[in-house]
Amino acid sequence: MNKISWRNDAYAKVTGKVKFADDIKFPQMLHAIPVYSDFVHAKIKNIDTSAAEKSEGVVRVITVKDVPGVNRWGQIIKDFRIFAEDKIFYNGDVVAIVVAETKALAMQASELVKVDAEVLPSILDPEEAMKPGSLLVHEEHGTNIINQHKVRRGNPKKAFEKCDLILEKEFSTQTIEHAYMEPEVAVCNPRPDGVIEVYAGMQHPFSTRRFTAALLGVPLADIEIVGVPVGGGFGGKDDTIAIVCARTALAAKLTGRPVKMSYTREWSIRESYKRHPYKVYYKMGLTKDGIIKAVETKIIADGGAYCSVTPWVTWRSTVQCCGPYVVENVHCDTYGVYTNNVVTGAMRGFGSPQMNFVIESMIEIASEKLRIPSIEFRKKNMVRQDSITITGQKLDNHKVAMEDVLDVMLKESDYFEKYKKCKTEIKEDEVYGIGLAMSYRGMSLGAEGVDFCAAIINVQADGSILLETGIHENGQGSESAMCLILARELGVKLERIRYRKPSTSNIPDSGTTVASRGTVMGGGATVNAVKELKKIIFEYASSKFECPIDELEIRDDKVFSKNKTAPFEEIIKGMYGERIYPYAFGVFKAPKVTWDEETGQGVAYFSFTYGCQVVELTVNKKTGKVKLLNAYAAHDTGKVANESMTLGQFYGGMAMGTGYALHEEVKSTDGKIKTLNFNSYRIPRATDMPEMKAVLVQNPDPNSPSGAKGIGEPTNELMAPAIANAIYNATGKRFYKLPMKIDVKKELEVLQ
Amino acid sequence: MKLIINKKEYNVPDSYGEKRLTDYIRDELDLTGAKNACQMNACGACAVLLNNEVIKICHVLVKDAEGKEILTIEGMENPDGTLHQLQQAFVDAGAIQCGFCTPGMVLTAHAFLMKNPKPTREQIRKALQGNLCRCTGYQQIIDAVEMASEYYRKN
């Protein structure tokens, strides 16, 4: 077995045998589909389902009237309408679901559902929506401002007076789609014992269970979310799939039959939440010797029609609003705002890709104005060991590896030599540029959420081992990472270990598999469960070997004392003979974090990770086309559990960041999304990506029991600024807006 | 009507002729390796081989596949049940994450390597440009195809 690239699901996936939700069938299964309306913002007068109900093969048409439990739910504000009530809030609102014998018959009937509504003016611009007197999206909320976060540090106003240079810029970023290859699919099976089983690819089974139980008006224990493989998530398989599951479960409950709801790509893009588009006003004050003295920033995030996790996303933007730089005077105001646009929520990076684009652009603008080389400028200002962050947190409980990753990147990419080539034509019409960006990132949820996770190790009588954690396999290889950590920490062969198919009816609520927290939290819980397990095994082994407990160890699949040794399975067999279960429950509670909402000060995260990326590219002078030549990334990954999967997170994150920088945009007209499939929503293809080089800088994190840091998101948040800086270095064209498209007609002089 | 899938003959009622091939093999034959992801010939998740040519079968009707040799991911393994060398290369290179694009990716690479067993990495990228993957950034997929090419040169 090649340990370096081991995955427990590789065989199942490479043979196509793995069963995603859409591949699952039950006897007598019905098919449900969502029904949308043409409206963006409207007052519903009537939903007429009578014709649809009579249509061939239709078993039931379900609307809000059929909801036995709570129709409004959400992780923060309970404003999601699982079924539309008296209003349409955005074009993805579902007014009904049609349940029929086949999907085709359901589709046929769905055409017959008629929605009579009075059109209301749409609120589509978040800055307009924030103004007092604006029409309200949710009247009961009293304002369109979903949330506000602040940082109040020092006195920027005073500090600006003493600055030699003040820069004020506006940036904006676009709405983007996760584009997981697997659209939302839920299969719900009502069991004779009254429990409804839910099969769906998702990142947050426990939240999905809450959505579902609430809609059905049943206890949590009556819903079992069974883990199935996820065909890509990237933060996107949380609220929307939870809602799809809840609706499907209701259909199963009301019909008494298994029901599948399988989304088309068009429905998925229309309804599912997106990455927040940001408007950022950024003012930076500097001294002539290159010290950032003050930052004042206003950040406006379009939250769309429902809250989702907008307060958490924008909190990270707030905490990280100055990038990995020490700034003594900071005033930050961040707003999440309701509009009638598509809902926005969690997506890989979670409020950081927007801000890193802003900050790493500002850094280069400032350094050029001050005539200080940008790397030297970064080194003057960046966080170092024991630095104080803008939220007043001292970085003293882990290795601050900012300079390490920067230096690694400079060397690996040969940055300084290549920088000299910038603006030269390396091929006919192709001008060259190299660009760099760096960041730090708070690990896991931070003060935005309750952060703990469970693991269960159940050693069988023959010495084989079942492992389960509360972290969910999203495709990133979390189950494999947990197995590898268990084998390493317990000192046994990987072949002994099977990851138990997870279920919310077995493992305690461990939160969501987001925030790059999978390996940190699940690995942490696994390590702590190993500690418990060892206590149990050693207590038995010490009596069998007649030795003190502290003499015992497990390695190479054997249990050792000073003088004696026994195979692992022999000890386990002996334990069962003595009526001792080698079974352990482990918990990892993230170290304490603090936050003061008024001052925006506190220990925001229990640790940080550090990253730097470099991009080489050319810009075609005639066409404006950007071609990436090479990309490099160095991140402090902490102790790596599975090297090739860690590399996969690097490359995948960089590709997604490339799409964000150059290609992707969810385009809407009057609140209706036009880019509903992959013909118009363009994600990076193999030919869009350059060769990528990844460097793992491994400083085991003392705050993470397995030593791991999270890496899925850091790799995603730096490509846009690195590309922006490379384009600037190639052409002199500075972008303040994503995606970056060079309009040769307008910008010809820049390129000539 | 007869379909030949993975060297096995299937008798297909004529009434299925107008059904999309993806739906037919998934729903009726339980060959679920081909995925529905865009259903408009834009992503490659449903790619299979028809007479050794890569075809995205979400826009192919059952009747149009009649008489052609269809190879789906379920027919990729070696006769002894071990992984085909190309599949093994995907495993070894760490080319698999969520696995949703993997069947289409493997089959597309297979058709390509049969024609060009000595490709450059740039040629591999071109060959795979019709197959979308959101997880991997393609890097390790290209590594896998490159690793496997040696096998195609020898066989």
The SS3 call for residue A605 is coil
The residue in chain A having the minimum alpha-carbon distance to the alpha carbon of residue B84 is: A15
Chain-centroid distance, C-alpha A618: 30
A647 shares its domain with A752: yes
Question: What's the pLDDT score for residue A2?
Answer: 38
Question: What's the pLDDT score for residue A493?
Answer: 97
B91 shares its domain with B54: no
Number of separate domains in chain A: 3
**How many Å lie between the alpha carbon of A651 and the closest alpha carbon of chain B?**
5
Spatial distance between the Cα atoms of A473 and A228, rounded to a whole number of angstroms: 8
Spatial distance between the Cα atoms of B53 and B41, rounded to a whole number of angstroms: 15
- Residue A452 tokens read as 């703990």
The residue in chain A having the minimum alpha-carbon distance to the alpha carbon of residue B76 is: A15
A43 shares its domain with A81: yes
User: DSSP class of residue A549?
Assistant: G
Compare CB distances from B90 to A14, A265, A477 and report the shortest one's residue: A14
Spatial distance between the Cα atoms of A588 and A499, rounded to a whole number of angstroms: 19
| Phi, psi (degrees; rounded to nearest 5) at B124 | -65, -45
pLDDT in tens, A219-273: 999 999 998 999 999 999 999 999 999 999 999 999 999 999 999 999 999 999 9
Q: Classify residue A261: in a domain, yes or no.
A: yes
Q: Classify residue A390: in a domain, yes or no.
A: no
pLDDT in tens, A357-392: 999 999 999 999 999 999 999 999 999 999 999 999
A46 shares its domain with A114: yes
A182 contacts on B by Cβ (under 8 Å) = 35, 37, 98, 100
B8 shares its domain with B30: yes
pLDDT band at A749 (very low <50, low <70, confident <90, very high): low
A70 phi-psi bin (left φ>0, alpha ψ -120 to 50, beta other) = beta
Substitution target from B19, B74, B85, B96 for chain A, most A beta carbons within 10 A: B96
* Chain A contact present for B4, CB below 8 A: no
**How many Å lie between the alpha carbon of A16 and the closest alpha carbon of chain B?**
4
Q: Classify residue B26: in a domain, yes or no.
A: yes
Question: What average pLDDT does the structure give for chain A?
Answer: 97
Substitution target from B139, B141, B145, B146 for chain A, most A beta carbons within 10 A: B139
Q: Which of residues 60-79 of B touch A (CB under 8 A)?
A: 72-74, 76-77
**How many Å lie between the alpha carbon of A505 and the closest alpha carbon of chain B?**
24
State the count of interchain CB pairs (< 8 A) between A and B: 181
Question: What's the pLDDT score for residue A5?
Answer: 75
Q: Which of residues 22-51 of B touch A (CB under 8 A)?
A: 26, 30, 32-40, 42-43, 45
Compare CB distances from B125 to A232, A264, A687 and report the shortest one's residue: A687
ipTM of the complex: 0.98
B67 shares its domain with B98: no
A439 shares its domain with A458: no
CATH number of the domain encompassing residue B134: 1.10.150.120
Spatial distance between the Cα atoms of A284 and A494, rounded to a whole number of angstroms: 52
pLDDT in tens, A389-414: 999 999 999 999 999 999 999 999 99
**How many Å lie between the alpha carbon of A387 and the closest alpha carbon of chain B?**
35
Mean pLDDT, residues A182-201 taken together: 98
In the numeric block, the tokens 């604006």 are attached to A134
User: DSSP class of residue A47?
Assistant: E
B91 contacts on A by Cβ (under 8 Å) = 5, 7, 10-11, 14
Indicate yes or no: CB of B136 within 8 angstroms of CB of A652.
yes
Indicate yes or no: CB of A651 within 8 angstroms of CB of B136.
yes
A410 shares its domain with A467: no
pLDDT in tens, A614-630: 999 999 999 999 999 99
Indicate yes or no: CB of B121 within 8 angstroms of CB of A677.
no
pLDDT in tens, A413-463: 999 999 999 999 999 999 999 999 999 999 999 987 889 999 999 999 999
The length of chain A, given as a count of residues: 752
Q: Classify residue A480: in a domain, yes or no.
A: yes
B74 contacts on A by Cβ (under 8 Å) = 15-17
pLDDT in tens, A496-549: 999 998 899 999 999 988 888 999 999 999 999 999 999 999 999 999 999 999
B70 shares its domain with B90: no
SS3 per residue for B6-69: CCEEEECCHHHCCCEHHHHHHHHCCCCCCCCCCCCCCCCCCEEEECCEEEEHHHCEHHHHCCCE
Indicate yes or no: CB of A230 within 8 angstroms of CB of B141.
no
In the numeric block, the tokens 């479960």 are attached to A249
Q: Classify residue A361: in a domain, yes or no.
A: no
A569 shares its domain with A613: no
Answer yes or no: is pLDDT of A30 > 70: yes
A683 shares its domain with A543: no
Compare CB distances from B33 to A10, A16, A686 and report the shortest one's residue: A16
What's the CA dihedral at A468, A472, A474, A478 to 10 degrees?
Answer: -50
Query: Quick one: which of A619, A750, A725 has its CA closest to A368?
Result: A725
What is the amino acid identity at position A308?
S
Of the three residues B18, B48, B74, the one that is the final residue of a domain is B74
A178 contacts on B by Cβ (under 8 Å) = 134
Residues A478 and A649 sit within 8 Å (Cβ to Cβ): no
Query: Quick one: which of B79, B13, B25 has its CA closest to B55?
Result: B25
Q: Classify residue B49: in a domain, yes or no.
A: yes
- Residue B134 tokens read as 């959101």
Spatial distance between the Cα atoms of A564 and A547, rounded to a whole number of angstroms: 9
Number of separate domains in chain B: 2
Q: Classify residue A345: in a domain, yes or no.
A: no
Q: Classify residue A204: in a domain, yes or no.
A: yes
Find the domain containing B134 and state its range: 85-154
Find the domain containing A192 and state its range: 21-121+185-271
B57 contacts on A by Cβ (under 8 Å) = none
Of the three residues A589, A618, A643, the one that is the final residue of a domain is A589
Element (H, E) at A87: strand A87-88
Mean pLDDT, residues A634-641 taken together: 97
B101 shares its domain with B51: no
Q: Classify residue A569: in a domain, yes or no.
A: yes
Spatial distance between the Cα atoms of A362 and A368, rounded to a whole number of angstroms: 10
CATH number of the domain encompassing residue B60: 3.10.20.30
CATH number of the domain encompassing residue A103: 3.90.1170.50
B96 shares its domain with B58: no
A678 contacts on B by Cβ (under 8 Å) = 38, 40, 42-43, 132
Residue % of chain A over a pLDDT of 70 = 99
B53 shares its domain with B12: yes
* Chain A contact present for B143, CB below 8 A: no
Indicate yes or no: CB of B99 within 8 angstroms of CB of A14.
yes
Indicate yes or no: CB of B94 within 8 angstroms of CB of A645.
yes
Of the three residues A238, A271, A304, the one that is the final residue of a domain is A271
Indicate yes or no: CB of B139 within 8 angstroms of CB of A231.
no
A10 contacts on B by Cβ (under 8 Å) = 90-91, 96
A65 shares its domain with A208: yes
B69 shares its domain with B9: yes
pLDDT in tens, B47-71: 999 999 999 999 999 999 999 999 9
B137 contacts on A by Cβ (under 8 Å) = 650-656, 684, 689, 692
Indicate yes or no: CB of B97 within 8 angstroms of CB of A477.
yes
* Chain A contact present for B140, CB below 8 A: yes
B126 contacts on A by Cβ (under 8 Å) = 686-687
Compare CB distances from A689 to B35, B98, B138 and report the shortest one's residue: B138
Question: What average pLDDT does the structure give for chain B?
Answer: 97
Compare CB distances from A692 to B91, B139, B141 and report the shortest one's residue: B139
Indicate yes or no: CB of A22 within 8 angstroms of CB of B90.
no
pLDDT band at A746 (very low <50, low <70, confident <90, very high): confident
Substitution target from A7, A15, A101, A484 for chain B, most B beta carbons within 10 A: A15
Chain-centroid distance, C-alpha A432: 33
Question: What's the pLDDT score for residue A750?
Answer: 62
B106 contacts on A by Cβ (under 8 Å) = 14
For residue A114, what are the contacts with CB-CB under 8 A and spacing of at least 6?
A: A46, A47, A48, A51
Q: Classify residue B80: in a domain, yes or no.
A: no
pTM: 0.97
Question: What's the pLDDT score for residue A460?
Answer: 98
Spatial distance between the Cα atoms of A248 and B95, rounded to a whole number of angstroms: 33
Residues A360 and A437 sit within 8 Å (Cβ to Cβ): yes
A689 shares its domain with A720: yes
Compare CB distances from A648 to B33, B94, B126 and report the shortest one's residue: B94
Q: Classify residue B121: in a domain, yes or no.
A: yes
pLDDT in tens, A549-605: 999 999 999 999 999 999 999 999 999 999 999 999 999 999 999 999 999 999 999
**How many Å lie between the alpha carbon of A590 and the closest alpha carbon of chain B?**
27
Indicate yes or no: CB of B73 within 8 angstroms of CB of A19.
no
Mean pLDDT, residues A280-304 taken together: 98
B44 shares its domain with B92: no
B60 shares its domain with B96: no
**How many Å lie between the alpha carbon of B73 and the closest alpha carbon of chain A?**
6
Query: Quick one: which of A326, A322, A279, A282 has its CA closest to A167?
Result: A282
A73 shares its domain with A205: yes
The SS3 call for residue A741 is coil
Answer yes or no: is pLDDT of A743 > 90: no
Indicate yes or no: CB of B35 within 8 angstroms of CB of A11.
no
Answer yes or no: is pLDDT of A1 > 50: no
A465 shares its domain with A427: no
pLDDT band at A748 (very low <50, low <70, confident <90, very high): low
Question: What's the pLDDT score for residue A752?
Answer: 57
Answer yes or no: is pLDDT of B74 > 50: yes
Q: Classify residue B79: in a domain, yes or no.
A: no
Of the three residues A219, A242, A271, the one that is the final residue of a domain is A271
B93 shares its domain with B150: yes
**How many Å lie between the alpha carbon of A59 and the closest alpha carbon of chain B?**
20
The length of chain B, given as a count of residues: 155
A685 contacts on B by Cβ (under 8 Å) = 128-130, 132, 138
Answer yes or no: is pLDDT of A316 > 50: yes
Q: Using alpha carbons only, how large is chain B's radius of gyration in Å?
A: 15
**How many Å lie between the alpha carbon of B66 and the closest alpha carbon of chain A?**
23
User: DSSP class of residue A208?
Assistant: H
- Residue A709 tokens read as 């840091």
- Residue A143 tokens read as 């304002």
- Residue A30 tokens read as 């019905």
Spatial distance between the Cα atoms of B70 and B51, rounded to a whole number of angstroms: 6
B55 shares its domain with B95: no
Answer yes or no: is pLDDT of A701 > 80: yes
Q: Which residues lie across from A619 on neighbouring strands?
A: A431, A626
Q: Classify residue A257: in a domain, yes or no.
A: yes
A702 shares its domain with A557: no
Compare CB distances from A23 to B32, B77, B137 and report the shortest one's residue: B32
Residues A588 and A703 sit within 8 Å (Cβ to Cβ): no
Residue % of chain A over a pLDDT of 90 = 96
* Chain A contact present for B99, CB below 8 A: yes
Question: What's the pLDDT score for residue A658?
Answer: 98
Answer yes or no: is pLDDT of A172 > 90: yes
Spatial distance between the Cα atoms of A513 and A19, rounded to a whole number of angstroms: 20
- Residue B128 tokens read as 């795979």
